[in-house]
Structures are given as C-alpha cells and as structure tokens.
Amino acid sequence: MPGEAPVEQPHLLVVDDDARLRGLLQRYLAEQGFRISVAGDAAAARQALAAMAFDLLVLDVMMPGESGLELVASLREGGNAVPVLMLTARGEPDDRVAGLEAGVDDYLAKPFDPRELALRIRTVLRRATPPAAAQAILPVQLGGSWFDPERSELRTPEGIVRLTGGEASLLTALARRPGEVLSREEIAAALGTPDAGERAVDVQVTRLRRKIEPDPREPRFLHTVRHRGYVLRPGP
C-alpha cells in the first residue's frame, strides 16, 4: 500500500569452504527472500562481520584453519550475539551439545533439505526478534540486574550483558511463568528445538546461569527441580 515502508530482508552470512554448496545456498536462500553474503572460511567471515551487521550466520562446522565452533566461541567471548545456525556432517548428540556449549542457536546435519534449512532460519530469526504484538511481560529482577523480555536485554550495574538468541528465549520462557516449574520438554519447545534432547536444554541453562547468577554453582534465581525441570525465582 502507498506510504508503507518496505520490509527489509534479513541479511545472512553463509560460511562454508565448499564452493559448490556455498553457491547453491546463496541462490536458494536469495529465492526465499533473504539477502545473502558468503565467505569461504572463518577469516573471511571475520572480515565480513567487521564490515557490516548480519541478522544470522549459516556456518559450517568443519573448515580448514579455524573451525565453525571455534569461530562461534570467539564471537560469543567477544560479546557478539548474532544468531548462528550450524551446518554439520555430524549428527551425534555430543556434537550437537558441543555446538550449544559454544553458543550456537540451532544446528542442521548434512545432508539436509534446503526447505528445512529455510524453515530453521526463520525460526531462529523469530526467536531473536519477538513479535511486537506478543503479550507484554514485565521486567524481572535478578539481584542487582534486570531482564527486559520485550527487549531481550539483561541490564546489570556494569552495563548490558549480551545474550544469545537461545539464552534470551530461555530466560523469556522462564520469566513468563516465574515461580512455576517448566519441564525440559516445555523449555525445548519454547526454544524452537523440541527434538534437541534434555542434555541440550541443560547446556543452555548452564550457559544462562553464567550470566545471571553471582555464583553459577549455587544458583539464587534459576533452580533445578529434580526429576521435573527448572524454575526461575526472581528477587533482589
């Protein structure tokens, strides 16, 4: 309609050392409505990330030189929370958990259906940008910090702590129902990864505790309820 601003296409960075696959993904994802940049290895990806902002990375795990997992871990340590969907030839649970521990938001094992890749990309993007029409959730206090679910923002006395898409989705799901135990199955569904398994949920909880707890070994806010799941108990 006249006067409406055009919807900006999400900008993705596809990082894979396989030139043929890289080209196929570039063409297919462009047809799906995404803006695409490509990189052949982690070094080229770093140059692209330094030059512009991306909405999501599609990243191969096995590359010459710096691996995809090493790149993600380095980005997270540097405070870069850009969503990452990892492509991996390994489908074993331990490999998936290693990705989540590094800060990956989702993973897809090769070979894969391009339609599933596009679907997972949209799911991760939705998690990273909650709909404006969603029911408002009030900020929750976690000691001297505050989490604003509307902005997916954790504010501490030292400043804003960057959360990955998975961490923000987990904390938002718990903040929606403070004091109520959520099963691992409910949490996995809220994260958009219902098939991820219990251990993957535990990994995300461990990562989140490092950012919200004064002592992650003795949680004050995010508690484990044995045989049931997890509960968030906000407070000063």
Q: Where are the alpha helices (DSSP H) in the chain?
A: 19-31, 42-51, 68-77, 93-102, 114-128, 165-176, 184-190, 198-212
Rounded (5°) CA angle 25-73-144: 120
Contact criterion met (CB below 8 Å) for 88 and 107: yes
Model confidence at 53: pLDDT above 60:
yes
Q: Would you say residue 210 has pLDDT above 90?
A: yes
Least confident range of 88-102, 121-135, 166-180: 121-135
- Mean pLDDT within 36-62: 92
- Whole-number pLDDT of residue 196: 60
Mean pLDDT of 134-148: 82
DSSP conformation class of 99:
H
pLDDT of residue 2: 41
pLDDT of the residue at 6 = 40
* Identity of residue 120: R
What band does 80 get if pLDDT is binned at 50, 70 and 90? confident
Tell me the per-residue pLDDT of 179-209, one tens digit each, with 9 for 90 and over: 889 988 888 877 776 666 678 888 899 999 9
pLDDT of residue 212: 95
Q: How many CA atoms lie within 13 A of 91 on its CB side?
A: 6
Q: What is the mean pLDDT of residues 56-78?
A: 91
Give Cβ neighbours of residue 10 (< 8 Å, ≥ 6 apart): 34, 35, 55, 56, 121, 125
Go through the domains of the chain in sequence order and give each one's CATH number.
11-128 (3.40.50.2300), 140-232 (1.10.10.10)
Residues 9-18 have a mean pLDDT of: 93
> Residue 233: its pLDDT value, please?
94
